[in-house]
């Protein structure tokens, strides 16, 4: 009896036929996103969360299927999120989920008119990515001891991260088969399981050669079974993002760099910014970073301009740095008449 009561308490509240139909459309979209588009688990969870909010809102508006959806329902949903206290970034993310959902429904013939036509995405300032100065990046690299197996591994990971602009997930999951040391290339599986080939610089290749020849065999002997991962942990298993993040923070402390300024993504930013400052083509940088949209890569041009502006301020005779220096110098005494 108690078991039956417990089971009844666990049962979800009955779903209205109207909401059930929308939920079926959402489930079909999420299945398509997972199987056909190979979206990551985190992206799928975010879509599911935002679309659950959306369908609940539509039920209050007596909308039972995508064909009944109108622009006023979408704008009303965005206003509803704002009243609930969601910031512009969260509202913009929810609107992206709704847009993808509706586009999928249109391809399946569930709606004909685009209800999002003319709906503006909430605007929010895009913060410039954090970057390290070249001397700070070098100090971080020098903090890894190549004579220690773990330090040798860390140096190779840092060189590859900074020299190729990989995402940390791509770095820790890199298989031995993804390395082409003779051609100086790595083959990585990025977002959406899209494969790309990225060139590797000479310093990174040298660090990799040293690690693979001397450090990795030592770490591999500790493992209970073979692993195809390039980078191994102390236990001989594949490195994780969390493990590498902690190692990176320790190296930042050793290099005298504030820990909060250093992360795997910061090195990826440094890679892109230094390339653009060196005159690299924006499209080439986009390809190496694996960005689907060029606008994502363009943010590094703003970082580069900011650096140039700071250089002018401190180095140019007419820059603010010279003026401040003059202002702090005591005025010269007039010679006696």
Catalytic residues: 167, 191, 265, 268, 291, 300
- Percent of residues in the chain assigned helix, strand, coil, to nearest 5: 65, 5, 30
Q: Are 234 and 150 in contact (CB under 8 A)?
A: yes
User: Structure tokens of 299?
Assistant: 């943010």
Q: 313: which DSSP letter?
A: H
Q: 297: which DSSP letter?
A: H
Give me Rg for the CA atoms of the chain: 27
Residue 47 half-sphere exposure, CB side, CA atoms within 13 Å? 24
In this structure, the number of other CB atoms found within 10 A of the CB of residue 270 comes to 24
In this structure, the number of other CB atoms found within 10 A of the CB of residue 39 comes to 20
Max CA distance (Å), the chain: 112
At which residue do the structure tokens 């489930």 appear? 27
Report DSSP letters for 208-237, one per residue.
HHHIIIIIHHHHHHH-SS---BSSB-TTSS
CA 77/CA 241 separation, integer angstroms: 36
Nearest to 149 by CA among 274, 236, 56, 75: 236
CA 58/CA 170 separation, integer angstroms: 39
Nearest to 66 by CA among 29, 118, 32, 13: 29
């Amino acid at each position: 009896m108690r078991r039956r009561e417990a089971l009844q308490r666990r049962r979800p509240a009955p779903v209205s036929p109207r909401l059930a139909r929308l939920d079926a459309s959402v489930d079909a979209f999420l299945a398509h996103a997972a199987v056909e588009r190979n979206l990551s688990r985190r992206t799928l969870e975010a879509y599911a969360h935002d679309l659950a909010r959306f369908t609940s809102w539509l039920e209050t508006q007596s909308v039972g299927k995508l064909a009944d959806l109108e622009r006023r329902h979408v704008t009303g949903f965005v206003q509803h999120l704002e009243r609930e206290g969601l910031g512009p970034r969260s509202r913009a993310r929810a609107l992206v989920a709704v847009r993808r959902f509706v586009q999928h429904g249109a391809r399946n013939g569930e709606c004909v008119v685009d209800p999002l036509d003319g709906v503006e995405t909430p605007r929010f300032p895009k913060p410039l990515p954090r970057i390290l100065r070249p001397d700070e990046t070098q100090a971080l690299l020098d903090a890894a001891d190549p004579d220690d197996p773990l330090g040798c591994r860390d140096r190779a990971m840092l060189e590859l991260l900074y020299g190729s602009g990989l995402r940390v997930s791509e770095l820790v999951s890199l298989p031995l088969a993804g390395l082409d040391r003779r051609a100086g290339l790595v083959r990585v599986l990025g977002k959406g399981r899209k494969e790309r080939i990225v060139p590797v610089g000479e310093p990174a290749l040298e660090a990799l050669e040293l690690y693979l020849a001397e450090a990795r065999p030592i770490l591999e002997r500790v493992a209970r079974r073979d692993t195809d991962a390039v980078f191994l942990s102390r236990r001989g298993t594949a490195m994780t993002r969390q493990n590498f993040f902690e190692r990176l923070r320790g190296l930042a402390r050793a290099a005298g760099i504030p820990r909060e300024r250093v992360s795997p993504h910061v090195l990826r930013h440094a890679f892109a910014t230094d390339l653009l400052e060196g005159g690299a083509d924006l499209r080439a940088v986009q390809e190496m970073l694996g960005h689907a949209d060029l606008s994502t890569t363009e943010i590094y041009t703003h970082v580069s301009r900011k650096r140039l502006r700071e250089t002018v301020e401190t180095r140019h005779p007419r820059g603010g740095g010279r003026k401040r220096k003059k202002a702090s110098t005591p005025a010269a005494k007039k010679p006696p008449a």
